[in-house]
Amino acid sequence: MKQEYKEGLHLETLRLLRYNAYTNYIAIPTKKGIKKGSLYKFYPLPRDPKPKALSKIDAVEMFNKREPLITNGKFRGYQENGGNRLYNKEGNLIGYIREDLIEYIN
């Protein structure tokens, strides 16, 4: 159990260092007209979450279906393109937009 605990701490440290390296790379300012070099691919670590594959058709449908609605600097949800429905992050219907007012469903 001690060995598993030490390995877990080591992996968590590597994840934090990887995250730190990525955020520092993103924050580096560049001169105008100079492109940043490409970021090296980080090697996967054990127990990293596996991204789910999204088909191109699903991605296009998702993009065309909703757009983020931000009012007064706050994210309110996703508005249906060409419609008045308002969805939350999970895609559930949470309200309607009528005459520039949001009516939430209880």
Domain spans, the chain: 1-50, 56-104
pLDDT tens track for 38-96: 666 667 777 777 777 888 888 777 766 777 888 888 888 888 877 888 888 777 888 88
Q: How many whole angstroms separate alpha carbon 39 and alpha carbon 24? A: 11
Kind of pairing, strands 74-80 and 85-87?
antiparallel
**Residue 47 contacts by C-beta under 8 Å, 6 or more apart in sequence?**
11
24 pLDDT higher than 80: no
Position 54 scores a pLDDT of 80
Q: How many whole angstroms separate alpha carbon 29 and alpha carbon 36? A: 9
Say if pTM beats, i.e. exceeds, 0.75: no
